[in-house]
Amino acid sequence: MKNSTLLCLKSLYEDQNGLDTDIYVVDNNSSDNSVEAIRSAYPAVNLIVNKDNRGFARANNQVLQKFKSEYCLILNPDVTIFPGTLRGMVDFMNNTPDAGISGCKVLNSDGTIQYSCRRYPNIIIIIWRALLLDLYFRRNKIIDSYLMKDWNHDTVKHVDWLTGCCLMIRKETLEDIGMMNEKYFLYFEDADLCYRVNKRWKVYYLPDISMTHEFQHRSRKFGHMWHTLHHIKSAYHFFSQHGLFPK
């Protein structure tokens, strides 16, 4: 993960394009020498080093509660942005006052699309994905609809939610709806955030701005029971919190 993080930082610094930015990295008790490598290669990075794994939501909140700029871009460390990404996303947010969150097109390393914008899940989808059935039965209308495979991903679209690998959020929106919910340690913190944003603002998918994301669903491919349990726990909390259980 260290090399991926360094590549991500390299792409960010090369895409400043006149923007005034502050870059933060939150290290959740990594086991390699990521902290030392970042300090050596990018001493200007604001590095937050946690002594334990605080989870995705809590780690991101460490930055979200202190940033001063008009927008904050949340990125996974295994992301590489293309030239023009930062300026393109900022311009869209500036020109779209109802946009609380936006996210760009996400690609695999071979250039194929990752389905980063999605419809809200139902109980059947949760069961399928918790049991990893979608990895073995790839042609399924319910899952395809959830991943929005019935849409060409070539136009700007107001969507239900975007995966947390790339989220640009407006500071005013955060002040309105609050930070990430730290009850989610892993999974659904992005769906929960977008759900709350869509109540008062809008979440937009941007097709003309792209980035690569190297390790999509890496944890799910391992099939660890730990990940399955967190997926089920987070899904239960998401459904109960927002009153989405079937009646």
Q: What angle do CA 189, 30, 218 make, to 5 degrees?
A: 55
For 60, 81, 190, the CA distances from 165, given in Å and listed in that order, are 12, 11, 9
Check if CATH label 3.90.550 holds for domain 70-241. yes
Is there a contact between 173 and 130 (Cβ–Cβ < 8 Å)? Answer: no
pLDDT tens for each residue of the chain, 247 residues long? 678 999 999 999 999 989 999 999 999 999 888 999 999 999 999 999 999 999 999 999 999 999 999 999 999 999 999 999 999 999 999 999 999 999 999 999 999 999 999 999 888 888 777 776 666 666 788 889 999 999 999 999 999 999 999 999 999 999 999 999 999 888 899 999 999 999 999 999 999 999 999 865 444 454 466 677 777 888 888 888 887 765 5
* pTM of the predicted protein model: 0.91
Tokens 């946690």 correspond to 50
Side-chain-side CA neighbours of 60 within 13 Å: the count stands at 27
* Longest Cα separation, the chain: 55
- Secondary element (H or E) of residue 49: strand 46-50
Q: At what angle do helices 2-14 and 34-41 cross, to 10 degrees?
A: 30
